[in-house]
Structure 1
Amino acid sequence: MEYILNIETATKNCSVALAKEGKTILCKEIAEEGYSHAERLHVFIEEIVKEADISLKDLKAIAVSQGPGSYTGLRIGVSAAKGLCFALGIPLIAVDTLQVLARQVSVSDGLIIPMIDARRMEVYSAVFNPKFDKKREILAEIISEDSFSELEEKLYFVGDCAEKCKSVLTKENFYFLENIKYPSAKEMSAISYEKFKINDTVDVAYFEPYYLKDFMITPSKK
């Protein structure tokens, strides 16, 4: 059996899923305002392995959501994944976070636009078709009333940006699926398995998350 552990920590959702031959069999996740990833992640991993009645040595690979997203969240997830891969001697698979978010949408027409909050009116976004093929590369962009105006298809927006964006993005072909807020590790299973089968892996020693823009430190108020 080919078991792959999938880790998603790019947003407020701390999510871990175990997949067997590309199918999710167990998933544990929690989205909290305080970013409890450091406390929750390894607990979720231990619980999933125990409930599945396997050992870590049964894993064939670890997949991690590579970003863009929260700097701290990505560091925690990638560090955990790299540590496990190194200790177990298994490959590391990197998965596009925005594709993971987009895969929660089931439509037959139009385009899917996953967005992750990048503070103020800036978002990380990409454009996918209903088969989850990427039609536009990932951008960090400031949202305005002219954003995506060149796209005439139905546009389905998902992610944690609905509240701040829906008052600006008001065209008739814009639809906000507000129930889809965060990427989940359970949507990584099919992607990571396909990558595993073709040996599409990354270097455990040198892999770094895809931050898209530099991490900014906010000066403390005196």
Structure 2
Amino acid sequence: METSTQLGGVAVVIDGRVVAEESSLRQKSHTEIISPYVDECLKKASLKLEDIDAFAVGQGPGSFTGIRVAANAGKTFSYSFNKPLVTIDSLVLLAEQARGSSYPVLSIINAYKNMVYLGLFDMNGDEPTYVKGPEAIPVRDLSKHIDCDVTVVGDGWETYHEYFPEELAKKMHRPTEPRDYPEAKTLALMSEKRALSKQTLDWKSFIPLYIRASEAEETKKGILISPLK
């Protein structure tokens, strides 16, 4: 279950194959879609919740409210059925969706207030490996973090690319068919591999990857929007 960004979705994977998937680009709030999507995916896979061997949830960063939707569902299922939990962060999922890139992969998620969540990844291993990040940075500081050609994915590109300096834009390459939101099927495929190698946790150990303080906390501290230029 991945609900950390505008795209919310649920997927079921069995033996490395996606057998069911449902997703929606914020047509409704993720709170409203999560239960129907779980039910629909289970029907497509001819399974019941108790048949699931491991539950996987997106860890963030992304929407504070969105992260909690999948997290709460995953923790509830993990507790109720005494099954392990797998969590993977959104920036890693985005990078995995750009596998096959000729360059390191830069994942940037819109963090609003002229900021992005950033992760720069080496793609040579079985999973993307952090070179920089995860962190939240002002868009105007992005040039300070990129010193080589990269493949860039994430909704941060669509939101802010017109403000990128020319020298930075020259280093950025886009996939032919960019997948700019972390997808439930990517989470499920990666999580099955982790579960098989016992890289799991119990429901009490889940920690969301928020990075930034909540909007209310930032407002209280007087954090202002940084200008883009």
TM-score (norm 2): 0.84
Residues 100 and 149 of structure 1: is their aligned pair in 2 closer, same or farther, counting only changes over 3 Å? closer
Aligned partners of 1:142, 1:38: CA distance in 2, in Å?
29
> Percent sequence identity over matched residues?
27
* Alignment partner of 1:90 is 2:86: no
Find the residue that maps to 1:28 and give its secondary structure: strand
Partner of 2:147: 151
Q: Deviations along 1:174-209, whole A, 9 cap, x unmatched?
A: 124584221101111332122112221223124231
Q: State which of 127, 140, 155 in structure 2 corresponds to 1:160.
A: 155
Which structure 2 segments of 5+ residues have no match? 221-229
User: What is the CA distance between 1:149 and its match in structure 2?
Assistant: 5.8
Q: Are the aligned partners of 1:92 and 1:204 in contact in 2 as well (CA < 8 Å)?
A: yes
User: What is the CA distance between 1:117 and its match in structure 2?
Assistant: 0.8
Residues 203 and 106 of structure 1: is their aligned pair in 2 closer, same or farther, counting only changes over 3 Å? closer
Which structure 1 segments of 5+ residues have no match? 1-6
User: What is the CA distance between 1:38 and its match in structure 2?
Assistant: 0.6
In terms of fraction of residues, the more strand-rich structure is: 1
In terms of fraction of residues, the more helix-rich structure is: 2
- Structure 1 runs of 4+ aligned residues shifted over 6 Å read none
Partner of 2:67: 74
Residues 145 and 78 of structure 1: is their aligned pair in 2 closer, same or farther, counting only changes over 3 Å? closer
Partner AA of 1:124 in structure 2:
Y
Q: Are the aligned partners of 1:166 and 1:176 in contact in 2 as well (CA < 8 Å)?
A: no
Partner of 1:65: 58
Residues 50 and 149 of structure 1: is their aligned pair in 2 closer, same or farther, counting only changes over 3 Å? closer
Q: How many residues align?
A: 211
* Alignment partner of 1:8 is 2:7: no
Mapping 1:69-218, distance limit 5 Å: 69-131=62-124, 132-144=128-140, 147-148=143-144, 150-152=146-148, 154-169=149-164, 170-171=166-167, 172-177=170-175, 179-217=178-216
Aligned partners of 1:76, 1:149: CA distance in 2, in Å?
31
Residues 92 and 174 of structure 1: is their aligned pair in 2 closer, same or farther, counting only changes over 3 Å? same
TM-score (norm 1): 0.87
Q: Deviations along 1:93-140, whole A, 9 cap, x unmatched?
A: 111211111122143421111111111221101011234222223111
User: What is the CA distance between 1:168 and its match in structure 2?
Assistant: 2.8
